[in-house]
Each structure stands twice: as C-alpha cells, then as structure tokens.
Amino acid sequence: MWCLLLVIGLATAGWSGDQERAPTVEETLAALRSTDLETRRQAAVRVREGDRELQRRALPDLIEILKREKDGQVRLAALDAVTMLGPEAERAVEALAYTLRTNYGGQQKEELHQDYRAALALAAIGAPAVEALRGLLDAEKESVRAEVVMALGRIGPAAAAAVPDLIPRLGDRSERIRREAAEALGRIGRVAREPLMEAARDGEPEARAAALEALGWSGQAEEGVLEAGRSGLKDPVPAVRAAAVNVLGRLEPDEEGLSAVLSSALGDRDEGVRRAAVDALLSRSGLLERVAPTLDGLLGHDERGVVRDAAYLLHRLGPEAALPRLLAALRRRPLHVEPVADALALLGRPAVEGLMVALDDEEPEVRRGAALALAGIRPTPSGVVERLAQGLGDADAGVRQTFLEALGRLGPRARSAVPSVRPLLTDQVVAVRRTAIDALAACAGRGEALASDLAARLDDPEPEVRRRALEVLAGLGPAGPDVLSAVIERLGPSEPAEVRLAALAYLGQQGAVAESAVDRVVPLLDEDALRLAALETLTQLGRGARSSLDRVVRLLDHEEELVRRLAVRTLGAVEPDAHVLRPHLGRALRDSSSEVQRAALQALQRLGPRAVILVPELIRAAENQRIRSQVERILSRFERNGPEAGSVPELVGLLEHESEPVRVWAAKFIGLAGPAGREALPALERLAEHDPAASVRREAAESVKRLQEPVASTPETRGEG
C-alpha cells in the first residue's frame, strides 16, 4: 500500500521522467540548427544562460547564426553568449565584424541594438579584435562607426595600434563620434598621450576640445597633460576652455592652483565654461570653502548666469555659512536679485527665520530677495503670506512689485492676500499695476469678482495694463455682458494695435456669445496689423458672424496668400448655406496657391452632404495635380447618391474639358444622376466612342450602360417601396 502511495505522490509532484529532463548539450546544439524558429530561439536562450562549457561547444553554431540567421531574438542571444566567452570567442571576430557591416532587415532599433551588442562582443574578445575594428572605422553608418570607437576604448591599452586611426576622429562632424573617440583614447592611455597633446595644441577647435577631454579621461596627472589643460584655458573657443576646465578639474593635484583656475572659469561669459567649473567644484566639494571669497565677488557680476552659478555653489556650503553671504550680496549694485533669491530658497526651512527678518531690512533689494526666496520654499512657511501682504504697502515700487510676484508664485496658497492685492491695481506705477493683475489672477478664484476687477482695468491710462488685463480675462472663460461690452470698446481706432489684438483674441475665445462684436470687428479687416487676427476672430464666432460675409469675400482677391487662405477658412465657418458659398469656394479652388485651394476643400468638407451642389466645381479642380488626390477623395463620398439633378448641364459641359481627369469624373457623375442624366446619353456615347483617352472612353461607356438600366436601379429611385 505504501508503495502505491509513493508512486501517486511522485506523479502528483510532477516527477514524470522525461518531462523534467534538461536537454543535453547535443540536443541544444541540434536545436540551434533547427528549421523551426521557436526551437532555435529557445536553444539560443539556453546557450546564453548555460555554463561556459556549453557556450564553448556552441561557438561554431553561434558563428553560423551571426552569418546567416535573420531573426533578431536568436541573434541577440547568440551575441550575448559570444560576449560571455570573451577572449575564448576569438574565432567569432570575422562573424561579428560581418554583423556590423550588414543590415538584417527588421526594425531599425533592432539593428542598432545588434550593432551595439556586436561591438560589445568584440570589445570582450579584446586584442584579437582590434584589427577587425580598425577596418570598420570607415563604415557607412555613423552608429556603427561610433560603436566601433566605443569598442576600441573598452579594449583599452591593448588597442594601442588604433591610436593613429582614432586621433582624426576627434575632429569628426558627429558630436557622438568625437565624444566616443575622446573617451576611447583616454582609456587606451599612455601611448595616446603625445598624439593627444599635439591635437590639443594644433587641431581644429572641435579636435582641440575633444583631445583635452581625452586627456582628462586618461586619469594621469602628468605635467605635460596638466600643461595642455592650462594652455587650453586661454583658447578663444569656449568649448576648448570648457574641456580644459574638465581636464584640470579631474587631474590637477594642486588645490590652490585649481582653485584659481575654477575661480577664473566661474567668471567666464560662456555658460559651458562656467558649467564645467561648477561640475568640478561639485565633484571636489572640499574646494568650495577655498573659492567662497571668489564666489562672493561673482555675486555682483553683470552677467546673470555668472551670478546664478556662484549663488548655487554658495548654497552648497549650508544654511549657516551661505545665508549671511547671500543676504549680504543683496546689498550690492549692480545686482541680479532673482538668482540669489533662488539660491536662498534652496536653503529651505533652516533659512526661514533669517529671511523673515530680512523682509524688514532697510535695503529694498534685501527685502525683494527675501520675499522671492520665501515664496520658493516648500512647504510654504507659516506666516509668509501675511508678511508678504503687509509688504504690499512698501514705499519702494520695486519692493511692491516683487512682493506681488512672490504672492503670484504661491498661487491659491496666497488667496487670503487678495484683499491686499486689489488696491495695487490702481497703483501709481505702471509695472506694479501690471504685476498686480498677474498676482490677482494667480491667487483669486475664477469668479465674477476677478472678472470685474480685470474689466475695470480696461480703462487704465496705460495700454500695457489694458493689454495684460485683456490677456488674463481671456483665460477666465465666458464672462457677463458688462465685461463683453467693455472688451468690445477696446476695438476702437484710438486704441494701440496691441490692445486691439488682445481684445480680438478675447472675443474669439468667447465664441457665439460675442456675436454683438461683429460690427466692430469687420472694419479691422482693412488694417494690415489687425487683418489676420480679425479673420481668426470671425472664424471663431462662427455663424454669428454671417453678416461679415460680403466683406470677407473681398479678401479672396488680396495679394497675400495667407490672407486669402484665412478668408476662405472664415467663409466656411460663418456661412452654412452651400448655395451662397458655391461661387466663392469655386473661385478659391481656382486660386493660384495650392494652400488656398486646400483651405477651400477643407471648408467644403465642413458642409457635409450639403456640398453636393459643388460637385461641378470639384470636378473642375481635378485638373490640378497638386490637389487632385484630395479632390478625388471628396468626390468619392458623393458617388453613392450622385449629383444634384440641376448640375447635369454643367457636367455635360465638362465632358469637353481638356483635362482627362475632369472628363472622367464628369462622365462618372452624369451616370450617377439617374433619369436627369439621360439627356446626356448622346454626349456620353460620343465620348465612349471617340475620346482619345481610354480611361474616359471606359467611364463614359459605364455611364451609358448605367443610364440605360431600368429606372428602379438609379440612385434617385433606389430604395423606393
């Protein structure tokens, strides 16, 4: 009995002989040669995940896969297995090089991935692969050349023979190849040192920069290398100076000398050079204390970027050391307050107490910087909104404006400050009034009160304030009739163009609600500076702007293509009657500009089935090769129901058109016209017999046949009970 239970237990546990037996090496190798794709895929994965002995045994088959296999999954698994073998896969060098020279169909990304993995495999093989890689440095594909350079770098000193090939790549047109060549030469090491120093002195600018980067990658602080870096600091090309800073930042052992180098680089007007200095200081943080006095001086630099970088580095000293330095910088002239304030904000909550005290400082710039910094700290410190609201009464206009900016940055978190912001909408200083509009929009909810506040500023004496009020109003959505009326008044001829443009944008966003503005918008079509915006607004008003039709039609003759195109678009938006639009869209379809023609087609499509009346106009447009395909797509939509009966005489006239596509479509639509088309049978029969174009004869014959069928099968009677 116990034997029976044992057998049942083994079977239940899945111990069923061959089902759990792993394939032998011979079976795996045979599977690699199978004609079944899934079998090959599974076998390639087993080799990749197998032990080294299996990979050695499989190497001949892996080489054959690299030469002949088309499936990307099998190839990638084979490439991984070869890479794992490293130098033992020397026999695969030729096949790997073949992979890099050959495209294997499939997706481009898959090919790129195979190139990368083949290059890794060659790098893993090492010195025996160097000559093959050198032979691929002139490959047609840039990606292959880059992977080859990368592989030589991974091989390192054993790839010394490739140095003469890699040096010219420092000046390659491809930034990627320049970067890869620099890293590769740096990895190859000492044998590349002299050629690199020569290239750093005498090469083209890109080559000089890349050579210096390569010397930095070498990791050897030899005097010749350091001297090349120091010389590069005087180069007139910013990229070379940045590379020199990188070299010295990595290799210069003299901290005092490096401090001087980095201090000078931080004052460079080129951002790339400064960024290299910042990176060097961040990687060698012990130097920050040494260069802090220089950073203090740079906070008064006239270049904003210099101040930003210096302030950022100072904040890395920590709140205790950085806070007094940054606050002291706010007392200088000239001064960029914002980058200093940004650095103060990065100090976070430990700086809050000192910043709150600074809000009452006698120096206006200190108050400004503290306000902006406090607005940038998250979460917003307790009491900040109240203190900023109090500062809105400051005697200094710049401070008032900055406190408004700070409240605006806080957004809804500063809603309690709205009552203090409102009075500044009438501040005597224009910039303060404009900033108050932005702060109010950011802090207040989107209600009628905000719209009323902004509408009141439409009477501001300064156009800049009126324009900004209109722009903010436009973002609030639909407004009441009082606001709408106030905006329409801003379209008057006494307003500057920028105010009227903002008013047009607002009215357009209101859509049909702003129909009452049409009579004030139409005259603006006569003004060059406002014409396009006026057309856009009328388009957005849609059918409510139908009264503008006659005035818009005149613009179809305008000398500027863009005006004609937008006029056609406007016509399609404001006029729903296809009969009214027909002559105008037909005219636009014959315009000299294909862009205007396409605008007419788009307007026609918006009419839907009503556009059937324009079938003759569309057929005429088929002679234009530039828009023919789009015309034919639209015509095909009308084939099911055919043309209007009244258009048959026009279609008959088109049978004599010189353009073959026009005659084809005219013949086709006459055949789709049902009983109304029968009067054209004689003309169709002549066409079917005598037209010089086979396509026209064929279509005419089909239409004759269709029109001679019983009435019940014609489009007009089809479906009748």
Question: What's the pLDDT tens digit per position in 270-279?
Answer: 999 999 999 9
Per residue in 383-442, pLDDT (tens digit) is: 999 999 999 999 999 999 999 999 999 999 999 999 999 999 999 999 999 999 999 999
Cα–Cα distance for residue pair 112/117, rounded to 1 Å: 9
Alpha carbon 185 to its chain's center: 34
Average pLDDT for the chain: 90
For residue 516, pLDDT beyond 50: yes
> Which tokens hold the place of 393?
């009464």
Per-residue pLDDT at 109 = 63
Predicted model pTM: 0.74
> Which tokens hold the place of 268?
């460079």
Q: What one-letter code names the amino acid at 507?
A: L
For residue 714, pLDDT beyond 90: no
DSSP 421-466: HGGGGG-SSHHHHHHHHHHHHHHS-SSHHHHHHHHHGGG-SSHHHH
For residue 7, pLDDT beyond 50: no
- Minimum mean pLDDT among 3-12, 393-402, 650-659, 704-713: which range? 3-12
Cα–Cα distance for residue pair 612/23, rounded to 1 Å: 71
Helices (H), 33-107: 37-49, 52-68, 72-85, 93-101
Mean pLDDT value of segment 536-551: 95
DSSP 95-131: HHHHHHH---SS-HHHHHHHHHHHHHHHHHH-GGGHH
DSSP 418-431: HHHHGGGGG-SSHH
Per-residue pLDDT at 286 = 84
Q: Hey, is 694 helix, strand or coil?
A: helix
Per-residue pLDDT at 448 = 74
Mean pLDDT value of segment 306-310: 92
> Which tokens hold the place of 242?
């940045």
Evaluate the CA torsion angle 458, 461, 467, 468 in order and state its sign. negative
Nearest to 357 by CA among 375, 380, 374, 340: 374
For residue 597, pLDDT beyond 90: yes
Cα–Cα distance for residue pair 125/90, rounded to 1 Å: 6
543: left (phi over 0), alpha (psi -120 to 50) or beta: alpha
Mean pLDDT value of segment 108-120: 81
The CATH architecture to which 639-721 belongs is Alpha Horseshoe (1.25)
Is omega for the bond preceding 379 within 30 degrees of 0, making it cis? yes
Per residue in 313-345, pLDDT (tens digit) is: 999 999 999 999 999 999 987 689 999 999 999
> Which tokens hold the place of 608?
């839907």
For residue 673, pLDDT beyond 50: yes
Residues 6+ away with beta carbon under 8 Å from 613: 578, 579, 582, 644, 647
Helix/strand number for the chain, H first, E second: 43, 0
Nearest to 156 by CA among 185, 131, 180, 133: 185
Per residue in 148-160, pLDDT (tens digit) is: 999 999 999 999 9
Cα–Cα distance for residue pair 486/489, rounded to 1 Å: 5
Mean pLDDT value of segment 240-254: 90
Find the helix or strand (DSSP H, E) in which 292 lies.
Answer: helix 288-298
Cα–Cα distance for residue pair 512/503, rounded to 1 Å: 15
Cα–Cα distance for residue pair 530/523, rounded to 1 Å: 10
C-alpha dist (Å) from residue 368 to 88, 306, 574: 69, 20, 51
Cα–Cα distance for residue pair 532/292, rounded to 1 Å: 55
> Which tokens hold the place of 375?
């607005």
Per residue in 39-82, pLDDT (tens digit) is: 999 999 999 999 999 999 999 999 999 999 888 899 999 999 99
> Which tokens hold the place of 556?
């179809």
For residue 662, pLDDT beyond 90: yes
CB atoms within 10 A of CB 547: 13
Helices (H), 347-383: 352-358, 364-376
Per-residue pLDDT at 681 = 93
Cα–Cα distance for residue pair 323/313, rounded to 1 Å: 12
Query: Would you place residue 21 in the very low, low, confident or very high pLDDT band (cuts 50, 70, 90)?
Result: confident
Query: Would you place residue 104 in the very low, low, confident or very high pLDDT band (cuts 50, 70, 90)?
Result: low
Per-residue pLDDT at 86 = 94
- pLDDT winner (highest mean) among 229-233, 412-416, 707-711: 412-416
For residue 303, pLDDT beyond 70: yes
Q: What angle do CA 33, 35, 40 make, to 5 degrees?
A: 55
For residue 18, pLDDT beyond 80: no
Residues 6+ away with beta carbon under 8 Å from 454: 437, 440, 441, 469, 472, 473, 476, 483
Count of all residues that appear for the chain in the document: 721
Cα–Cα distance for residue pair 612/644, rounded to 1 Å: 7
Cα–Cα distance for residue pair 279/618, rounded to 1 Å: 64
